[in-house]
Structure 1
Amino acid sequence: MSSSIPMTREGYQRLQEELKRRVRVDRPKVVQDIAEARAHGDLSENAEYDAAKERQGFVEGRIKELNDKIARAQVINPAELDTDKVVFGAKVTLFDVDSGTEVTYQIVGEDEADLKDGKISVTSPVGKALIGHRLDDEVRIKVPSGLKVYEVIDIKYE
């Protein structure tokens, strides 16, 4: 039995949009590319045909993966959470004790993580370390560069 995959509504909608595009646009295009390449004759030395078949394998694999993730999705709306702890979906503002700077992360599912956008995976070292902490807690996180010490200065659920 496969386990559920936590994700935000936004992440779920992105997966659905990608699936729609793969099925409605990418799949028909690759089928057309294969038909055109086939029309060029000898398939044993037809690089276009080989490339199109490879693309078809990728597209079909991705469609299967997206269907699986959507089927196992557990959509969590952070705005409906009633807690004072850091949980999935929370936007957490941290004070870096060493550098004196602040950083804000939203804890999201693996497929939604994007550090440039301030979104970290619930399974990342920082994401895992923050779960369960409260306002004003000191959080010590082992990262590749050593030990980071943060203070939780804000928790929001939007």
Structure 2
Amino acid sequence: MQKHPMTKEGADKLQAELNRLKKEERPRITQAIAEAREHGDLKENAEYHAAREQQGLIEARIKHIEGVLSHSQIIDVTQVQAHGKIIFGATVKLLNIDNDQEVVYRIVGNEESDVKENKISINSPIARALIGKAEGDEVMVQAPGGTIEYEILEVLYL
């Protein structure tokens, strides 16, 4: 079975969510179902049906997180000797040569990518173009809006 890369930070965040779901949400929803059952006829008991639906969603999320964590290879980028090369987990400061704007991205696994936090998936076009490059290199990225040329200003292993 193929392992998927994940940062230590991403794995810790998923583990915390899993613990919360198992220790807080699961017992809370079980209690809500028990209380709704006490109201009698289950056919027309909206609270019971809503609680059962929420239980299904929680259990599905638990299974999903457990699956992701079991198939993940946790990579602590601070422990890897990359010698200035861009690798999984690296934080990269880029200069868009066309518009002179600087951007910072961290290359992470699929489950942890979040554009709002500037975390891009290892499978994204920009990450694939950057892997293996170093400070001072220029890269061409095939983006949906066309080709973008970047200069790599800095590579950090945080």
Unmatched segments (≥5 aa) in structure 1: none
User: What's 2:111 paired with?
Assistant: 111
User: What's 1:150 paired with?
Assistant: 150
Code of the residue aligned with 2:10 in structure 1: it is: G
Aligned length: 157
Hey, what's the Cα distance between the residues in 2 that align with 1:59 and 1:131?
36
Hey, what's the Cα distance between the residues in 1 that align with 2:63 and 2:132?
34
Hey, what's the Cα distance between the residues in 2 that align with 1:48 and 1:139?
56
Hey, what's the Cα distance between the residues in 1 that align with 2:64 and 2:116?
25
Superposition map of 1:54-73 within 5 A: 54-73=53-72
Identity among equivalent positions (%) equals 46
Runs of 4+ in structure 1 displaced over 6 angstroms?
Answer: none
Matched, 1:79 2:98: no
Code of the residue aligned with 2:54 in structure 1: it is: R
Hey, what's the Cα distance between the residues in 1 that align with 2:46 and 2:129?
49
Q: RMSD in angstroms over aligned alpha carbons?
A: 1.2
Hey, what's the Cα distance between the residues in 1 that align with 2:126 and 2:44?
50
Unmatched segments (≥5 aa) in structure 2: none
Code of the residue aligned with 2:92 in structure 1: it is: V
- The alpha-carbon deviation at position 134 of structure 1 amounts to 2.0
Code of the residue aligned with 1:106 in structure 2: it is: R
Q: TM-score, normalised by structure 1?
A: 0.93
